[in-house]
Amino acid sequence: MERDGEFGILPDGRAVERHRLESMGGVAVDILTLGGVIQRVFAPDRRGQVADVALGFDNLTAYLANPSYLGALIGRCANRIGNGRVDIDGVTYLLSRNSGREMLHAATAVSTRRSGQSRPPRPTACTCRWRARMAIRAFRAPCGSMRSTA
């Protein structure tokens, strides 16, 4: 079973990597640099038999073709923001409505389908970093860097 290394190549030529994190208790998680997707989670049962207990795809093509964002890290908020608007410090922000009249999770193709740069993983941590060059669709203000650590 492959662990760390190249998982696939995006249509624009950028590589998507897979990194494995492991715990002392026998749990292992495979994370892709494609939006921080959790591809596989291996865990032992009460008899010590290890199995993949996560839903995930075996190849990059399947992730790019699937509209459900399976295994993806959620965007800048989790849950729904009613009417696609939020007031912060007296300023009203209008957000993209991606679930009827609401914004759901702020997860868009912008963040979950991008391949980020990753630092070499430690046994229990991996850092992927993406930088937004423009406003993310759900949040129309410039976003700067989006960093995710698992």
Q: Is the pLDDT of residue 132 over 80?
A: no
Residue 125 belongs to domain spanning? 5-149
Residue 9's pLDDT is what?
Answer: 93
**Mean pLDDT over residues 99-113, rounded?**
64
- CATH number, domain with residue 136: 2.70.98.10
> Would you state the structure tokens that stand for residue 120, as one six-digit string?
């070499």
pLDDT confidence tier of residue 118, bands split at 50, 70 and 90: low
Residue 23's pLDDT is what?
Answer: 87
Q: Is the pLDDT of residue 84 over 80?
A: yes
The number of distinct structural domains making up the chain is 1
Residue predicted with more confidence, 54 or 36: 54
φ/ψ of residue 103, rounded to 5 = -100, 125
Residue predicted with more confidence, 78 or 55: 55
Q: Is the pLDDT of residue 49 over 90?
A: yes
Q: Is the pLDDT of residue 79 over 50?
A: yes
Q: Is the pLDDT of residue 137 over 80?
A: no
Q: Is 142 exposed, middle or buried (0-12, 13-18, 19+ CB in 10 A)?
A: exposed
**Three-state SS at 20:** strand
Q: Is the pLDDT of residue 150 over 60?
A: no
pLDDT confidence tier of residue 53, bands split at 50, 70 and 90: very high
Q: State which H helix or E strand residue 63 sits in.
A: helix 60-65
Residue 39's pLDDT is what?
Answer: 93
pLDDT confidence tier of residue 45, bands split at 50, 70 and 90: very high
CA distances from 139 to 16, 107, 110, 134 (A): 25, 11, 11, 10
Q: Is 122 exposed, middle or buried (0-12, 13-18, 19+ CB in 10 A)?
A: exposed
